[in-house]
Structures are given as C-alpha cells and as structure tokens.
Amino acid sequence: MKKKIIVIGAGYAGVRTIERLANTKDTEILLFDIHPYHYMQTEVYDFIANETDLADITIDLFTFSAGFENVTFKKEEVIDIDADHKFIATSMQRYRYDYLVIAAGARTRFFDSIKGLKEYAYGIKSLHRALYFKQKFEFSLFKRIEEEGEYCDMLNIIIGGAGLSGVEIAAQMASFSREFYEKNSFLCRKLNIILIDAYEHILPGIDPLLREKSQKRLLDLEVTIKDNLKVVEVTKESVILSNGEVLPMDFMIFTGGIEASPLIARVSLQKDARGFLSVDRYLRAVGREDIYAIGDAAAIYRDGVALAPTADLAEQMGEVCAQNIKRSINGIALVEEKITSRGILIALGRGYASAKVFGLYMHGYGAFLFKKAIEYLYAYQLKRRAKKGFERIFK
Ligand SMILES: Cc1cc2nc3c(=O)[nH]c(=O)nc-3n(C[C@H](O)[C@H](O)[C@H](O)COP(=O)(O)OP(=O)(O)OC[C@H]3O[C@@H](n4cnc5c(N)ncnc54)[C@H](O)[C@@H]3O)c2cc1C
C-alpha cells in the first residue's frame, strides 16, 4: 500500500522536502498551506523597493505540485494534529498520514507588552502585510511630491529590530528613496529612517566584519541607528523608546522577534522554552518516529544555544527530513543532521551586499551579484516545476 506523507507548510523547508521526496516509489504526498503561493521572504527587500513584483517573489503551489506525479496541494489551514491516531485536521476534513512533516514556519511576534505595536506597526513575514507596507511607502513618497510648494514635512520611518531583516529593509528603503529623489530632482526630500536596536550593536550573532560593513553602509545611506534602546509604546503618530524619547512616526515596521505559528502552540508535542518544536538528531519531533519538524518551526541547539532560523537552515532541514523519510520507508538506518550555516548574504541597498560564504568574505557589487544569482537559481528551479505543472493541467 502507498505511504501517505503530509507536509504542513510550503515555505523554504516544506518546498525543499517536496522537491527531494516527490516521485519516491509508492508514496502519495499532500502539501498543505494557508496560502496558494510559496512566498520568497528573503527577497522582500526588493519587493518593497519596487525592484520586483508579486510574480517574482511567489510560486503558485497548485501548478508547482502538479509538476510532480504524486504531489497534491491543498489550500487549507491545518488546525490540529492527532499524533496518537496519525491524523491532521483542517476546517474541511481530517486526513490520515503515515509520515507527517511540520514545516509551518514562524510569524512576527507583536509583543503584548508593547502597547500599540500590533495596531500600528507592520510585519513583513506575511506577503499581504509586506504588500500593504509597500503601497503605503510608495503613497507616502507620492504625497510628499503632491505637497511640494506647500509643505515639506519630514517622512519618518521607524524600523524596530536590527537583525538581518530590519537591516536589509532599512538599507533598501534608504537607497531606493535616494535614487527616487535624485532621478527627478525633487525639491522636498526629507526622509528620516531610524533603526531601533535593542542590543549594543546591530546584527547580533552575525560575523563582526559583516556587522561593521553593514553599519558603515547604513550610515552612508543616512539611516540613523539607535543602539541599546527598546520600543516601549507605539501610537498612531509616534514611537516611544525605553529612554523616554518620543519619535514622530509616519509608519513603522517591526522585525524585533518571531514566534512559532499558532498551530505549534496548539499541538501536544515537546517544545523548547520559546515554544518551538524540539527535535531529535534525525529531525523527528521528540518521542515520535513518524513526525518530522523542520525550518523555523523547529529548534536545533548547539552548545545550548538555538541556531538562528534562516532559509538556508530550513532548506538543509528539508533535505535531511526527505532523506530520512525515504530511509524509514525502506527500513534503512536514518542519517543524523549536521546542519550548519553555509553562509550569510546581507542585501544593503541597490547594487550592494555584504557576504560570508563558506568562510570567504565579499562586499559591494560582486556580493550583490552573487546574492542575485542565488535568488535567481532558487526561483528558477521552482518556476520551471510550476510551468511543467501548468502544462500538465492544461494539456
Ligand atoms: C525580510 C526577511 C529577510 C530574510 N532574509 C534572509 C536571508 O537573506 N537569508 C536567509 O537564509 N534567511 C532569511 N530570512 C529568514 C527566512 O525567510 C526564514 O528563515 C524562512 O522563511 C523559514 O522557512 P520555513 O519554511 O521554516 O517557514 P516559512 O517560509 O515561513 O513558511 C511556512 C509556511 O507554513 C504555512 N503555514 C503556517 N501555518 C500553517 C497551517 N496551520 N496550515 C497550513 N500552512 C501553514 C505558511 O503559510 C508558510 O507558507 C529572512 C526573513 C525575512 C522576513
């Protein structure tokens, strides 16, 4: 009888699992996601700055799945997992599995302790929020042009959180706006981008040289960095910091923390203190032989410290997971995960990036081209698969 494999979540981890597992003999795979598209979050900085459009940063999951013989996509939210009886439940129905892969990712954590954060700040981990923010950013620039000759008010953009995503977004918006103003010699070009950093320096946990280069680039782009400060309250027009400072704000992006998806909070599987799924060395949920947890939804620890969640790690976890499911089906010993960061590429505005890949540093235009090449290759494979699925559906 065919083995039923269910994958929850079509992000970097889930999609990589599908690519490696599909077409395995005697298997039937169901892929579930709330959205009908795979969202390439790592490229959202370009999207917000109008360099790319929706079609560039998404892959259709119906056609992608149809590109394989044995994969079916279900646009349904998984609301529960019955691990003892091997079922998952969506609002539509229950589905039985032999193997389950939980790759439901994480979402922006809008801390309840920060008054007004949820109401007035944007996150960018979901596409609809990123799209809304992009439109607001563009409209704000337009409004300043409309008002020329009457006022020239400062446009204040606050970014809460100076990790990888906060730094990339700050650099890209600053660089985009600079070119935008210069292109048409606009008179009113008052833009104030402020990056709020809760730690001693930006990019905590990232290589010191990359941090230094990123900091310099941000300062060159006239981004103001405020270290050692926390956002304590957000109102419709201002952001209040832990030192009592009140910053005027036209809009704010919050990238200061993530939390596991609500499904993870509901399921009765072992989790770490932050609420992410605990896994054994084969990436199985602790105490379960038929459930794998991968990507941002799971936590891998080295010397007591959780590895920072990235797409790079999520993809590697997808590969190990697919390999172990195949081995388990064939009764072969499983492989242990040896996941480690293969490198880091930080986009810092148009034509500039800073990178450390397999121990080698790159900065400037070369690093930027390298990042673009990696993004292009990643999307190319998926789009090719989706095209095949499209042809299969319509032929
Ligand atoms: C702005 C930004 C820049 C980044 N830059 C980089 C970078 O340069 N390099 C890097 O390596 N990483 C980067 N990251 C991090 C990277 O995007 C994440 O680590 C990666 O997306 C994790 O992949 P994932 O598959 O675990 O989760 P996700 O990609 O978040 O996918 C999870 C999927 O699960 C679905 N889902 C959730 N709950 C359910 C449910 N109950 N039922 C059905 N489906 C569900 C979601 O809809 C989603 O499609 C960046 C992140 C951001 C926000």
The answer to whether domain 3-34+76-108+258-341 and domain 117-254 are alike in fold is yes
CATH of region 3-34+76-108+258-341: 3.50.50.60
CA 16 to centroid of ligand 1, rounded, Å: 12
CA 308 to centroid of ligand 1, rounded, Å: 13
- What are the residue ranges spanned by the domains of the chain? 3-34+76-108+258-341, 117-254
Residues 58-97 have pLDDT tens digits of 999 999 999 999 999 999 999 999 999 999 999 999 999 9
User: Best mutation site among 15, 19, 41 for ligand 1, i.e. most ligand atoms within 8 A of its Cβ?
Assistant: 41
Report the C-alpha gap between 171 and 161 in whole angstroms: 13
> Which residue owns the Cα nearest ligand 1 atom 46?
9
295 CB under 6 A from ligand 1? yes
CB 169 within 8 A of CB 45: yes
Predicted local distance difference test score (pLDDT) of residue 136:
86
14 CB under 6 A from ligand 1? yes
Its CATH class, for the domain covering 117-254, is alpha beta
With CA atoms as reference, report the closest residue to 250 among 354, 351, 332, 138.
138
CA 258 to centroid of ligand 1, rounded, Å: 11
CA 266 to centroid of ligand 1, rounded, Å: 19
> Which residue owns the Cα nearest ligand 1 atom 37?
104
CB 273 within 8 A of CB 136: no
Residues 123-135 have pLDDT tens digits of 888 899 889 888 8
With CA atoms as reference, report the closest residue to 141 among 111, 174, 169, 115.
174
Cα-trace Rg, the chain: 22
The answer, yes or no, to whether residue 177 has pLDDT greater than 90, is no
User: How many CA atoms are closer than 13 Å to the CA of 154, on its beta-carbon side?
Assistant: 10
CA 105 to centroid of ligand 1, rounded, Å: 5
Predicted local distance difference test score (pLDDT) of residue 191:
84
27 CB under 6 A from ligand 1? no
For residue 9, which atom of ligand 1 is closest to its CA? 34
CB 56 within 8 A of CB 379: yes
29-33, 159-163, 174-178, 325-329 — which is least confidently predicted? 174-178
Residues 74-85 have pLDDT tens digits of 999 999 999 999
- pLDDT tier at 261 (50, 70, 90 boundaries)? very high
41 CB under 6 A from ligand 1? yes
Q: Hey, which residues does 297 pair with through a beta bridge?
A: none
Predicted local distance difference test score (pLDDT) of residue 109:
94
- pLDDT tier at 332 (50, 70, 90 boundaries)? very high
Report the C-alpha gap between 363 and 348 in whole angstroms: 10
- pLDDT tier at 395 (50, 70, 90 boundaries)? confident
What is the average per-residue pLDDT within 313-338?
Answer: 97
How big is the chain, counted in residues? 395
For residue 313, which atom of ligand 1 is closest to its CA? 11
- The residues, ordered by sequence, that sit 6+ positions from 338 with a Cβ below 8 Å of its Cβ are none
What is the average per-residue pLDDT within 102-126?
Answer: 94
Biggest alpha carbon distance in the chain?
A: 75
16 CB under 6 A from ligand 1? no
Report the C-alpha gap between 217 and 364 in whole angstroms: 10
